[in-house]
Amino acid sequence: MPSISAIGRYVPVIGPAAVIAKSLAFQATMSLPLSVQRRISGPVIEGDGQVLAADTQLMLMLKKISGEPSVEDLPIPAGRIGMARQAEIAGGVQPIGSTTDHWINGQKARLYVPTNESGNGGLLVFFHGGGFVYGDVQSHDPACRFLAEESGVRILSVSYRLAPEHTFPAAYDDAIVAFKHIVEHADEYGADPKRIGVGGDSAGGNLAAGVALAVGRKCAFQLLIYPVVDFGSTTASRAMFGEGFYLTKKFMDLAHDTYAPADLVASNDPRLSPLFATVRKTTAPAFVATAGFDPLRDEGEAYAAKLAAAGIDVDLERYEGLIHGFFNIVGSGHTARAAVRELAGVVALRLG
């Protein structure tokens, strides 16, 4: 059935059967041999000394020819539906031992227990991406299932208040409160309070970094996946990859203007831009993952350098052929799924 957005614009809502059909078609195309995908996707795309992965290039081409609008070109309610649909199609159906839903400070959370968990009480508290405007526990369900099942570590995905309904520092405050609650009630989630880490992608990576800075030794590890860490950034990667590689300047501007308007919030507020925060020796060790064709690449790598300069144990991995959003593309394909499997290996090593 069609629906009408909050401002009256017609928005088609894809039904479950159509989502499944689209997902299967997408997965079939993305699972073709890389050599075939390279022939279909056209001339090799290079940038900053890197080559865009064939399956990523094909995915971008399919998105372009589909004619579907980007989420930032829709009213926010419709954009939220669009992002959820994209995530479901790209993520596919992922196995998991079990899941249970919880509520933390009024926000939904979902606990993922892998089939073969390590059993030592490790837990990764995860915050979803979406520019502080989009996304929820469901939008990142396939990726969290995959991360838990591949790592053997429990994942607790926690939602937070979104803009424009709730502006800065609402999301930051929610993340801090949630993490502290989880540590204090670790037994409820089958976790050892000394083996609880934090992670997130994009906006969620921003929140994860903020949590790690705020709670010190209460956090055992931080996994930052292409985090936004500098809201006033004018980096080279933002200039090079701000169009044509999924995450656009328009989306980033919308996120900034909606969550933390420049006339109300200083872009160098450390709660908003962790790159300007003081890093204490008690900050958890980190793994920072960036993507070669991501506008946020340079600031993520600058943050890894900042942590290292402060004496924090940090590993940095740039996935050169990938784009922003690869964490959600676990349903098919080769390159993104392999990258997320590597991230699962890191989680297993640190918390498993």
Q: List residues with catalytic annotation.
A: 202, 294, 324
In three-state form (DSSP H/G/I as H, E/B as E, the rest C), the secondary structure along 13-25 is CCCHHHHHHHHHH
123-127 and 286-291 beta bridge pairing: unpaired
- List of residues 6+ apart from 14 with CB closer than 8 A: 22, 85
Identity of the residue numbered 146: F
286-291 and 222-225 beta bridge pairing: parallel
Which class for 15: exposed (0-12), middle (13-18), buried (19 or more C-beta within 10 A)? Answer: exposed
* Longest alpha-carbon distance in the chain: 55
Beta-bridge partners for 109: 102, 158
Rounded Cα gap, residues 86 and 88, in angstroms: 5
Other beta carbons less than 10 A from residue 176's beta carbon = 18
- Cβ–Cβ < 8 Å for 244, 307: no
